[in-house]
Amino acid sequence: MLKANFITAGEAAEKIADNSTVCTIGMTMVSASEAVLKAIEKRFETTGHPKDITLVHSCGQSDRKDGIQHFAHEGLVKRIIGSHWGLQPKWMEMIAESKVEAYCLPQGQIAQLYRSMACGLPGKMSKVGLGTFIDPRIEGGKMNERTKPMPDIVDIIEYGGEEYMFYKEIPLDAVLIRGTVCDEAGNLTTTEEAMKLEVLPAVMAAKRYGGRVIAQVKQVVQSGTLNPKDVTVPGVFIDDIVVCENPFEDHRQTSSWYFDPSYSGQARVPAANIEPAPFNERKFIARRGTQELYKGAVVNLGTGIPNDMVGKVCNEEGVSDDIMITVESGIYGGVQAGGIDFGIGQNLTAMIGHHEQMDYYNGAGVDITYMGLGELDGEGNVNSTKMGTRCTGAGGFIDITQNAKKVIFLGTFTARGAKYEFSDGKLKILREGEVCKMVEKVAQLSFNGLLARKKGQEVMIVTERAVFKLCKEGVMLVEIAPGIDLQTQVLDRMEFTPNISDDLKQMDEALFIQDGPFGLRLKEKNK
């Protein structure tokens, strides 16, 4: 009988060679191989090895303190290729200070690249990334001065008279994965994980290059006791298995709790048990955004206000069953967790693989996506990936926004320190934010407004005091909040002059209701 090779986390760390390319699988702290990541950090701090590795990850994998933050040491990592570092302050600092070569690629393209590599292909082609900072004619995804002279890892190719991005293969020497249980032969399940992710494609990619697969599990069971349909990775593809010694600390379902079956589809909680979000400017903005929903819409939620607020508003308003909310991790329905637990949800109706979800977003395109807003300029360009020295990265932003039928950006009008009062159906600005978000030119091109206008993509920008739409001429102001002075509190605080609608409206006063639902009514889908 085939037997798995069981080793300790410390022994797993010894398997990572200097100058190797290491792929880690996880999103936030979901499915992060924390025990192994800690052990690799400890080995480096003790011996100076492994050194100069290339770290590859499709999703952000941290909760601001753990996950791949353990790799954020000069000398341990020479090059990082990832999509998002918003919950990884150490990595953002190292990238900003050019202490590491840093490439940012769209999250979905990395997840799908594993599958292409597994198939024996030299990379993957896609239109995702064209006209953004990922495009090699703009920045090539290079996030700092140290990386600019380095070779491009993306190309522009032409096929059938059309341009495509070509994401080059990244041969993997090791991949770190996590499962719930395995049997004695190493067959691995992910039944208690809150996401399916792209575990198997990454494993197959590593095998293509002769790479090593190291898996962390919570428990081992007798061979023959697992349902074959529950097996995510057959044991023949796993080289080493680490049984986590302290699962409460190093094998948590997510950062905020050890295990909750309602997030892995093994139980449901009464909808009434899900508490409404407290009323504040973020909820106000989300409410206005939900007024664009129609019955039957398939919706995506990005990080920030979208994921933290939109699902909760829909649940409170009793419309959750009339739409389908999705998140890039591959979850459908339910109510989403927010903050450091992004990408998971309770009472889900379906869960598919991360790379499979991106197939839908990249191909058919979601009906409506809600995304966070960093900066906006007069062309309709949006920056949500690099604010000053804060290198958050793209995540799934580019994958989703470039193909969505309708894009709604949600964010405050200004940033850092703004305070508001919502009363008597009016908005009062108590203190303006220190940072202007309506800028002459965005610092990084995350969303190309000109391309969106050319293809007729429907785009809205919703803030607490003003609502804009993208039109042929550029950005158009279509609504302002009651109580707001158009000149002094909107136009004078913008570095560009928007077009102003001839039918400029006031935002719905019902949005100001603070106790209970505001009375959301879904639109009928246009035929």
Query: Catalytic positions, please?
Result: 328
User: CA 268 → CA 273, 339, 345, 346, distances in Å?
Assistant: 10, 21, 11, 7
Neighbouring C-alpha atoms within 13 Å toward the C-beta of 122: 4
Relative to beta strand 154-159, strand 162-168 is: antiparallel
How wide is the angle at C-alpha 364 spanned by C-alphas 291 and 152, nearest 5°?
110
Phi-psi region of 343 (alpha: psi -120 to 50; beta: other; left: phi over 0): left
Q: Are 206 and 172 in contact (CB under 8 A)?
A: yes
The span from the CA of 60 to the CA of 62, in Å, is 6
* SS3 (DSSP) at 68: helix
Residue 166 CB partners (closer than 8 Å, separation 6+)? 123, 124, 125, 154, 155, 156, 157
The first and second tokens of residue 90, run together, are 């150490």
Long-range pairs for 497-501: beta carbons < 8 A, 24 or more residues apart: 497/378, 498/378, 498/468, 498/474, 499/471, 499/473, 499/474, 499/475, 500/476, 501/476, 501/477
Give Cα 187 to chain centroid, integer Å.
29
Q: Are 34 and 71 in contact (CB under 8 A)?
A: no
Residue 182's nearest CA partner among 212, 223, 214, 213 is 223
CB atoms within 10 A of CB 18: 11
Q: Are 365 and 51 in contact (CB under 8 A)?
A: no
